[in-house]
Amino acid sequence: MTLGDWLREPAITIDRIAERLDAMDHAGRMAALGAATPGEQQKLWLLALHAPPATFEDFVPADVPDVTAVVHHGRNTMPIEGLRTFQKIFARARDTKGKLYGFNEGKTRPWLGPGCFTVRSTAGDPKEEKLGAIVVDYYLTPDGDVPAAPVSASKGISWFVYGYTRDYMRKVSRHVTIGRGFKWNIDVGALFLLVREDVRR
C-alpha cells in the first residue's frame, strides 16, 4: 500500500502512518512514499502537526560518526515530474556542539550548485515553532567540517532556488520527515518528503 491508500482511510492518523512506515525496511518506505502527489503531501503535512517534534537525531542519528554523510531521499511537489526526486545530505560537523550541516544532490546540482544549508532548532521562536521544530536554513552557510565544500546558497544561479529560503520540518516516522519551503519568510507552497537511509556499518 502507498501513502495515497492510507490517506483515503477515514480515521487515519499520523501515529498509524508512522507505525506502518516504522515496520518497513528502506525499500518499503521508498515504495510507499515514492509516488506521493502534491495533494497527498499537503494532507500529510497537516497530519504531521500532531506528530512528536522532529529532532536533530531524525536527520543524523546519535550513533553516526561526525562528518559522515547521511542520505535522505526526497520527493518534492515541483510541477515537472522528472525533477521531483533528489537527495539531501546531512552531516554532524566536528567541534561545533552537534551542529548539523548539509547540501542537495540531484539532477539540478550541475547548474544550481549544492544548495548548502545549516540545520537549527526553532525553539524559542513561537512563530517558527508552529511551522516545525527543525528548520533547514539556507540563510546560514555551513562554517564547519562537512562532506561538501561550503558554498553560500545566495550567490550565483543558486540564489533562484535556495537563496533566502528556509524549510520547516515535521516528523512523520523514525526515518521520514516532511518539509515546507518559505522564501523571504513567505510560504511558497513547496512541500517535500525525506526518507532517511541508514548508514551502513
Residue 66 lies in a domain: yes
CB 183 within 8 A of CB 164: yes
Residue 67 lies in a domain: yes
- pTM score: 0.93
Residue 151 lies in a domain: yes
Q: Render pLDDT for 100-132 as a digit per residue (tens, 0 to 9).
A: 999 998 777 666 677 889 999 999 999 999 999
Residue 201 lies in a domain: no
Residue 177 lies in a domain: yes
Q: Render pLDDT for 62-80 as a digit per residue (tens, 0 to 9).
A: 999 998 999 999 999 977 6
Range of the domain at 112: 3-196
Residue 47 lies in a domain: yes
Q: How many domains does the chain have?
A: 1
Residue 159 scores a pLDDT above 60? no
**Mean pLDDT across the stretch 35-40?**
96
Residue 152 lies in a domain: yes
* Sign of the Cα pseudo-torsion (55, 56, 57, 62, in order): negative
